[in-house]
Structure 1
């Protein structure tokens, strides 16, 4: 009689729509999850390089990461011409796996995850830079925040900033005034941001000088303002570009600022904001602090110097956020 064999039942794979991701992953939840992961020993320096490949009219981007419980891959497309067509620049999916069996356990809409993850990482950095402000330069709940960019990330960074700065006032600068006006109208129509003060300043240089916090979410390949104008104790966060040939801030700002990066390895490979101020010798002898250093308090801000955080997006951040989404549904 032939031997009887059985095939193990396939594990079900749960799907999370964009609406479900947003419902389960508030900015506060994401920021707290990132902080916990970094405090518990997750090192940004253990993150592997992102994988890029050509795609029609853009690029494919794969971002694998692993942890003891979950592992995952974010599979995205980047279409630089899409915003001009009224479409999303970044689209894709997140695939979550059990680290124990490497069985897939969830698929999540990736654009929404990115839209929450990126500002959550930025505001994690801003939160801790604000807490480490020099004596006499502390921020209240109502700082003046200047945002460069008028796309999805600009909107989401404003929403994320309200977690720690609920009474902040916002100014928005973009290349196209009509897009800035549309963004301000959209924020005013959203329940979460209705009543928040958001305006487009007439004097751009004056807005830079007066801002307590400056957030850059552009796709610029060259600096968007004069770094010498930034206030002595202001916080600047640049997160809109990746690649050594793209940058949002100039050397004048980098040289006069206390600098923090997401991860030293990723910044050295991909961050154009630092490419002309940090050569190989500087990376080896005096590298900047990373996000884990900042969250653990292993960073000192200098009086009368701006603080500058810059990131390009890292795979571990998506895994932390995707894990939080999955856990929120399966272990509420």
Structure 2
């Protein structure tokens, strides 16, 4: 059996970010996907790092993402995260296609975050005609791709300030990003958060990267960089004063340190926490004067929805 492999370049050519957001929204609106019903992520030790396995199943298609995470690799000039995605036909469990898992993740993660931001903004006060003020905390590949996705999906001018934890990282990021798709990006400071309508935290930090006192009352804050109950990009006080949305309540209670550092699981179970289906299907109302918080951890159903749509496009364009 020869199984086709879709490279990173091929995946990127098959869909734009608005397309990928559309894939996710259609799956959530149709009822094809219930974010609360998904397999948990599995971690296992590997030499110099760990394996991350993300399986999930659907009526027609099923899939498994296998990643390796090697923290020492960047110092050696090698990628920290590498891996493959396998898409299976559910009726006979035969593998149909392999994909570059890193590019798949760089497509679905920003699209998931921006889907949430899009609907949180729509549920809040009118931002008017001026450029949307955005602060990005983080300077890595996910920060870059999130900004591209946000610009493409919101389809309006953004006034972007970026901050990083390493000296010179924000300046280099701003220089690299400015001019792409009409983006105006500059190196910023924590004080830029005061006037931001959207704050994106895309770091691997285990401790909060924002000052709660700087976040405006009606801001939308999305944090997706740190995973695990003991790690949090957001201060507990900010999470406690915000309207909270997650990909799924079940996965958040397993992995979202942003939430679990702010309240216990039992406390969260008594509070209204929206999932991504609630946002997309209009079952979420924002409280005036409170920030809206989205905390994402990454889920296997997102990979399956996007991988399936990309494979179908590949078949259509290649006539296979």
Three-state SS of the structure 2 residue aligned to 1:289 is coil
1:182 maps to 2:172: yes
Q: Taking structure 1 as reference, are residues 331 and 68 closer, same or farther at Cα in structure 2, changes over 3 Å only?
A: farther
Aligned length: 315
Residue 295 of structure 1, aligned match among 264, 280, 304? 280
Q: Which of structures 1 and 2 has the bigger CA Rg? A: 1
Aligned equivalent of 1:147: 136
Is contact 2:41-2:54 (8 Å) kept?
yes
Aligned equivalent of 1:248: 233
Structure 1, 57-66 or 74-83: larger mean CA deviation: 74-83
Question: Could you tell me how far apart the structure 1 residues matched to 2:272 and 2:299 are?
Answer: 18
Is contact 1:59-1:77 (8 Å) kept?
yes
Aligned equivalent of 1:64: 55
Could you list the runs of 5+ residues in structure 2 that have no partner in the other structure? none
Residue 104 of structure 1, aligned match among 78, 95, 101? 95
Displacement over 6 Å in runs of 4+: none
Is contact 1:71-1:97 (8 Å) kept?
yes
After TM superposition, the structure 1 = structure 2 runs for residues 32-47 of structure 1, keeping only pairs within 5 Å, are 32-41=22-31, 42-47=33-38
Question: Could you tell me how far apart the structure 1 residues matched to 2:260 and 2:35 are?
Answer: 19
Q: Taking structure 1 as reference, are residues 269 and 250 closer, same or farther at Cα in structure 2, changes over 3 Å only?
A: same
Question: Could you tell me how far apart the structure 2 residues matched to 1:311 and 1:82 are?
Answer: 25
How far 1:88 moved relative to its partner?
A: 2.7
Residue 15 of structure 1, aligned match among 2, 5, 11? 5
TM-score normalised by structure 1 residue count: 0.91
Question: Could you tell me how far apart the structure 2 residues matched to 1:194 and 1:263 are?
Answer: 32
Q: Taking structure 1 as reference, are residues 122 and 141 closer, same or farther at Cα in structure 2, changes over 3 Å only?
A: farther
1:199 maps to 2:186: yes
Question: Could you tell me how far apart the structure 1 residues matched to 2:209 and 2:163 are?
Answer: 10
How far 1:28 moved relative to its partner?
A: 1.0
Q: Taking structure 1 as reference, are residues 186 and 85 closer, same or farther at Cα in structure 2, changes over 3 Å only?
A: farther
Q: Taking structure 1 as reference, are residues 51 and 268 closer, same or farther at Cα in structure 2, changes over 3 Å only?
A: same
Superposed CA RMSD in Å reads 1.6
Aligned equivalent of 1:285: 270
Is contact 2:217-2:291 (8 Å) kept?
yes
Aligned equivalent of 2:212: 227
Question: Could you tell me how far apart the structure 1 residues matched to 2:130 and 2:102 are?
Answer: 30
How far 1:297 moved relative to its partner?
A: 0.7
Could you list the runs of 5+ residues in structure 1 that have no partner in the other structure? 1-9
Aligned equivalent of 2:81: 90
